[in-house]
Amino acid sequence: MKTKLVLTVILTSLLIFTGCSDNEDNVQDVQDLESISQTYPQEQQEVLETFGAIAASITAGAGNGHDDPYMDELISFHAYGAKFTEFNDGHAYDSAGNEENERTFFGETVDPGGVVQFAAIEGTLKVAVYYGNVANLTFISDFHLMIGGNLYIVNNLITLLFVKTNGQWKMVHEHHSPFTP
């Protein structure tokens, strides 16, 4: 009987100790929320400037071919590797798939000079920076593209995830979903 009592006390103490450890972790999580809500205005501006440079390379390289230097510049804004993913039009792509999509669509599918407008619907562009080196850029696109002589307006929900590496913001994830107003 004594052995059962001792065993019960030990197990109960272990459960209490484990429960207290979890509570301490939760306290740390609450403290991290304060860090997450920090705004990082300089980094937000850097991400916006990077996004502007991405738009400029797309606009300049539109329809100029798969191997145009502006397409190389566009690709340079990505941090390709095993962790890179793109979700687009119901499909998932890795680094190679994303690069092929970017080069083909903007370099060949869109008519030469065919980026009439590369913008976000007013009031939808948002940049959230976390810990000064991870950023989430979200917006609803308002792209006007000439393809085969016809004007196409593309309104998508877009999320671009950036990581700052070696002083530069690089995309590590893209997500494009249709937007229905």
Distance CA 23, CA 8 (A): 23
Per-residue pLDDT tens for 126-169? 999 999 999 999 999 999 999 999 999 999 999 999 999 999 99
CA-nearest of 161, 86, 164, 102 to 127 is 161
For residue 107, how many other CB atoms are within 10 A of its CB? 21
Q: What is the pLDDT of residues 52-66, one digit of tens each?
A: 999 999 999 999 998
> Would the pLDDT of 172 be above 80?
yes
pLDDT in tens, 64-101: 998 999 999 999 999 999 999 999 989 999 999 999 99
Per the rule left: phi > 0, alpha: psi between -120 and 50, beta: everything else, 65 is: left
β-sheet bridge partners, residue 141: 120
